[in-house]
Amino acid sequence: MHRRFIVGNWKMHKTISQAESLVTDILQIYQPQASVELAIAPPFLSLPAVARLLASTSIKLAAQNTCASDEGAFTGEISPPMLRDVGCHYVIIGHSERRHIFGETDQDINKKVHAAFHHDLLPILCVGERLEERQSNKTQAVIQQQLQTGLDGIESKNFEKITIAYEPVWAIGTGQAATVDQATEVHRHIRSFLDTQWSVKSDQTRIIYGGSVTPENAKSLFQSPQINGALVGKACLNSESFVKIAELATSS
Ligand code: PGA
C-alpha cells in the first residue's frame, strides 16, 4: 500500500515573494501525516526560495519540467543536475501543456525520463487523452502509446520510483474532473499495461489523478484504491484548498 502522494503544480503563477508567502501559509496550517507525501512544484525562479522554506519539513520540492541534456547550448533550458543542485526531489515530465502548447513528443519525454533517473530525480510522468480521443474510444490506445514510448528502455526496478499522473486533457483547468469511475478504469488499465509490457508488479507504481481536483471532489476520488493521490493545479494556488486536499488524502 502506497502513501498517498499529493503534488501541487503551480504552473506559471507567483513571483518569488508571492511563492514565499504561499509556502509560509501552507506550513502554518499543514499537519504532516505519515500516510501522505506532499510535493510542491513552483516555477523555476522560485525553486531556491521554496527550497529554503521546505528544508526542515517533510514536503518535497518538484520541478515542472527539465531539459534532457546535462549542459550545453540550450538557451532557456534548465538541466537535471541544476534541479538536483537546488534541492528538487521530483520532476514533472510530459505535462499536457508541455505536449500540446510546446510540442513535446513522446520521444522527447522519454529522453527526459531517462535523464531524470540518471540524476536521481524521480519523474512524475503525465499521460492523458484529449476529449475527441475519449469520444472516439481511443483513450486506452492513446495512453498505451504515451507509456510505451515515454517509458521505453526504463528498467523494471525503476517502476517503484516513478509516478504516473493520469491527467485527461479535457479535465485540466476546466472545472470538469473525471468521475471516480472514469479515473479508476484508466488507472486499472495503466497498471495492467505496465504489468504486461514491463513485467513489473504495477502495484509498486504510484498512479495519481490530475484534472480539476478540488477539496469538493477529492474525497470521492481518494475512495478508489486505484487512485494513489492527486496532481493539483488551480486548487494548489490557495493554501487552504491545497492543505484540505492533503487532509482528505489522509482520511479517505
Ligand atoms: P487543474 O490542473 O487542477 O487546474 O485542472 C491540473 C494539472 O494541470 O496538473
* 62: confidence class by pLDDT, cuts 50, 70, 90: very high
Task: Give the model's pLDDT for residue 121.
Answer: 98
* pLDDT value of position 252: 67
- The domain limits of the chain are 4-251
What is the per-residue pLDDT for 1? 59
189: annotated active-site residue: no
Mean residue pLDDT of the chain comes to 96
Q: Ligand 1 centroid to 38 CA: how many Å?
A: 16
Whether pLDDT at 199 is above 90: no
When the candidates are 3.40.190.290, 3.20.20.70, 3.40.50.300, 3.40.50.450, the CATH number that belongs to 4-251 is 3.20.20.70
Atom of ligand 1 nearest to the CA of 92: 9
Query: Which residue out of 101, 167, 214 has the highest number of ligand 1 atoms within 8 Å of its CB and is therefore the one to mutate?
Result: 167
pLDDT band at 189 (very low <50, low <70, confident <90, very high): very high
- pLDDT at residue 198 is higher than 90: no
Specify the residue with its C-alpha closest to ligand 1, atom 3.
Answer: 233
Whole-number percent of the chain with pLDDT over 90? 93
Q: 0.75 exceeded by the pTM?
A: yes
Q: Which residues does a 6 A CB cutoff place in the pocket of ligand 1?
A: 9, 167, 172-173, 210-213, 231-235
DSSP track, the chain: -PPEEEEEE--S---HHHHHHHHHHHHHH----TTEEEEEE--GGGHHHHHHHHTTSSPEEEES---SSSSSS-TT---HHHHHHHT--EEEES-HHHHHTS---HHHHHHHHHHHHHTTPEEEEEE---HHHHHTT-HHHHHHHHHHHHTTT--GGGGGT-EEEE--GGGTTTS-PPPHHHHHHHHHHHHHHHHHHH---GGGSEEEEESS--HHHHHHHHTSTT--EEEESGGGGSHHHHHHHHHHHHH-
Q: For a pocket test of ligand 1, which of 102, 232, 237, 244 has the largest count of ligand atoms closer than 8 A to its C-beta?
A: 232
pLDDT at 42: 98
